[in-house]
Amino acid sequence: MVFKNSKIIKYFALFIFLIFNINGVSTSNSVKLNYIKKEIETKKEKKLSTPKYPAELTIEVSNKLDSVFKRFNKRHDFHGSVLVAKNGKLIFSNHYGYANFSKKLKLDNNSTFQLASVSKQFTAASILILFERGLLKLDDKVSKYYPDFPYEEVTIRHLLNHTSGLPQYFWLAEHEWKKDIPPVNSEMMDMISEYKVLRYFKPGSRFDYSNTGYFVLASLVEKISNKSYKDFVEKNIFTPLDMNNTYVYRFKQDEIDENQLYGYRLYKGWRHIKITGTVNDAITGDKNVYSTVDDLFKWINGLNSGKIISKNILNQMYSKGETKYGKKVPYGFGFRINDKEAEKVIYHYGKWNGFSTSIKQYTDSDITIITLEHSNYRSMNHLNETVKNIVIENFNEKEIL
C-alpha cells in the first residue's frame, strides 16, 4: 500500500539523514537530532500501543475463549480473527485457521479481511465529518449535489437510516454494464440517472436496508470533499487512528495488498474454493473496506472517545432513526441498533463473497466483540452470544480491581 510505504520511506529518510550528517554537526545540533529521534520513537510507541488488561488477569477467560474458537475452527470451519474487549481495554485476541487454503498459510495480525457491510460505518462517519465542518446538512436532498439524480425527494438522512426507497444498484451493474472493468461510483451514479429504475417506496415512509443508499453516500463524500472516497477515509479516519492495515480496495481498479485475503466457499463439505470479484466489486461505501481486528478496535475506541466526531453527533449515530410517520427504525447512522433485549446493542454484520464480519458493542456490560472470517461462516450471532457469556461468567473487573 502507498500509505504504508510512505511511512517506511519517511523513517528511512530520517535514518539516512542522521547517518550522513552526524559527523558534520556541532555537539549542540547532535543533541537536538537525538532528541528529535527519541520524540519520533516515543510517538510511534504511543500510537502503536493498545489499551489492554494485564495478561495475568485474563488467563482464565482467554483460555476458555481460545478453547471455544479452536472448536469453532475444527467443527464449524471457522477461519478468522477475533478480538474481545471490555471497557475499551483488550481482553483477548487471536487468529484461527488459514489465510490461504491451497498453500496452508496461517492467518496472522496483518491478514486483511473484506469488511462487507461493516464498511458502512466509515461511510456514515465520513458524512458526519463533513456535516460537522458545515459542508452539508443531513436533510439536504441528494439532488442538491447531483442535479440529475432522479429521486428528487431523497435526503442524506434517508440514505443514512435506510428509509430512501432506492432500488438496488446490483441489478443495473449486472444487466446494463457492458465493459470488462467493473464500474466505480461515478459511473454508477451516471447509470442511475440514465436508467431511472422505479423506486421501492416514497422516501421516509418505511425502513428497507439499502446498499444503494450507502454507495450514494460515498459518492456524496467524493463530490463534496473533491477527494476519492478512498483518499477521504484514509486521511480523515484511518491515518488519525493509526489504522495502518486498513484501506479501500476496488476490484480491478486498485492493486491488491500483499496481506489481502480472498473469501472462500466450501465445496462438497471439504474443499475450499476461492471466490473472485464481480461486476459489483468496484463500488465503495456499502462495502470494500479491508481491515484487521486490531485496526477495528482502534476505530471503535477512537470513535467512542470523540477523536473522529463529537460526542453529540456520536449519540445520533448510535440512535434509531424514524420514518416520516414517527415510527422508529432499527438503524442509526452506519450501525444497527437493538434495544429490545436486556441491554442495548450497537452492531453491524457483513456478508459478501465468502466473508462474514461483525462488530458488536453491548452497551450495559461494555463488551466489544470484533470478528472477521473468510470461509462463509454462518453463525455469527450465536458466536457473539457465546463469547459475551464467557466474558460475563469468567471476567469480573471488580474482583480484579
DSSP string over 113-125: EE-GGGGHHHHHH
Q: Where are the domains of the chain?
A: 2-40, 65-400
154: which residues sit within 8 A by CB, 6+ positions away?
141, 142, 143, 164, 165, 166, 203
- Kindly tell me if the per-residue pLDDT of 2 is higher than 60: no
Q: What is the dihedral of CA 399, 390, 333, 94, to 10 degrees?
A: 100
Sign of torsion, CA 220 225 230 236? negative
- Kindly tell me if the per-residue pLDDT of 22 is higher than 60: no
Distance of alpha carbon 255 from alpha carbon 253, whole angstroms = 7
C-alpha cell at 346: 450497537
Q: Helix, strand, or coil here: 52?
A: strand
For the segment 330-384, what is each residue's pLDDT rounded down to a tens digit? 999 999 999 988 899 999 999 999 999 999 999 999 999 999 999 999 999 999 9
Distance of alpha carbon 355 from alpha carbon 336, whole angstroms = 19
**393 phi, psi to nearest 5 deg:** -80, -20
Highest mean pLDDT among 6-15, 48-57, 346-355: 346-355
Average pLDDT along the chain: 90
- Which run of H or of E encompasses 313? helix 311-317
- Kindly tell me if the per-residue pLDDT of 392 is higher than 60: yes
Q: What is the pLDDT of residue 186?
A: 98
Is the model's pTM score more than 0.85? yes
Distance of alpha carbon 38 from alpha carbon 331, whole angstroms = 46
184-206 mean pLDDT: 97
| 65-400 fold | Beta-lactamase (3.40.710)
Query: Looking at the annotation, which residues are catalytic?
Result: 117
Q: What is the pLDDT of residue 33?
A: 46
Percentage of the chain exceeding pLDDT 90? 84
For the segment 256-294, what is each residue's pLDDT rounded down to a tens digit? 999 999 999 999 888 999 999 999 999 999 999 999 999
For the segment 297-342, what is each residue's pLDDT rounded down to a tens digit? 999 999 999 999 999 999 999 999 999 999 999 999 999 999 988 8
Q: What is the dihedral of CA 198, 201, 204, 209, to 10 degrees?
A: -80
Between the alpha carbon of residue 137 and those of residues 131, 224, 381, the distances in Å are 6, 12, 35
Q: What is the pLDDT of residue 39?
A: 47
Strands (E), 8-106: 80-86, 89-96, 98-100, 105-106
- Kindly tell me if the per-residue pLDDT of 51 is higher than 60: yes
Between the alpha carbon of residue 200 and those of residues 168, 209, 210, the distances in Å are 9, 11, 11
For the segment 127-152, what is each residue's pLDDT rounded down to a tens digit? 999 999 999 999 999 999 999 999 99
Distance of alpha carbon 188 from alpha carbon 192, whole angstroms = 6
- Kindly tell me if the per-residue pLDDT of 36 is higher than 50: no
Q: Give the β-pairing of 271-275 and 289-291.
A: unpaired
Considering only residues 333 and 6, tell me which one the structure prediction assigns the higher pLDDT: 333
Q: What is the pLDDT of residue 398?
A: 60
144-169 mean pLDDT: 98
70-78 mean pLDDT: 96
Distance of alpha carbon 24 from alpha carbon 22, whole angstroms = 6
